[in-house]
Structure 1
Amino acid sequence: MILIIVSAVLLYITYNYIQDPIAIEICKSIAYSIITAALFTIIISIFERNHFEETLRTLLEKNLPFLDRLEKKGLEGFESGFPLKNDTYEENFIESEIVTVVMNDGKRFFANNIELFRKRFNQSYKTTRFILLDPDAADSISVLTRKMIMKEIIT
């Protein structure tokens, strides 16, 4: 963008202040070259950004298949009664084929539920995913909420 402005200023100066025809042609050539280079740079950066985003999305979908569902559904449940002392929660946590735990940090959660994790991890065929969110990240709230109303209440 700066290069386009520089070349526009150069063209303005060329047509309004320079009298020598050779200098005018040189300045016009330089200005047009700068404009062309700037436009190609912008176009290439747009294509690279789109390619990067597509590649990143493909990698995320391949390696984190639940991410799309998480973004669509948002927070499915929030329980204030940790550690998980309810028998239903314990059984679901241990026996579910796939468990995804989303949290800001897991220090107390792991310590408070160490026995549940031991029982679950003793079953090697089960899948357990952990997503640790950065609470300062702008997208943490959008991942954890389902609708704008909830987002407005939280923020």
Structure 2
Amino acid sequence: MRIIILLALLLPFASQASNYKEIDASWVFSTENNFESALENLVFAIESRGLVISYTAHASEMLNRTASAVGTENQVYGDAQILLFCKSDLSHAMVADNPHHLPLCPYSISIYTIFQQPELTYLSIRKPDPAAPFSSEIAKLLISIIEEAQDGF
């Protein structure tokens, strides 16, 4: 029942964003902006809300660097980064509700190009867990950031 309620609340937000699709555990959005422009738009959309990016994981670099160590030569991404950040009022509300909600922060948005499809840049988030507290608020925030990044500034 929680899943149905969460999806009913969030699906209108996700479906309003351009080029949205659900893939396994992720909600994936796309833009025809090249990676550098899309990344710049994404950083601006996060920072314009007064949020601070606490960490950038350079996923494509790590995967390319470690490919031979795990026995693969397949390059999946052209570029791929994961941006981590929190929203203080939402984070305070989550931990005030229960101090064990700490793992729900930071939030992340992945941005990447697929090596064999360089004409699109993807932005994705984890599909919200209907059992997790504040998941609809977090998803609304992340989707609004992605929509702004898709449109540019």
TM bracket, shorter-chain basis: under 0.3
Higher-helix-fraction structure: 1
Question: What's the TM-score, normalizing by structure 2?
Answer: 0.20
Highest Rg: 1 or 2? 1
Higher-strand-fraction structure: 2
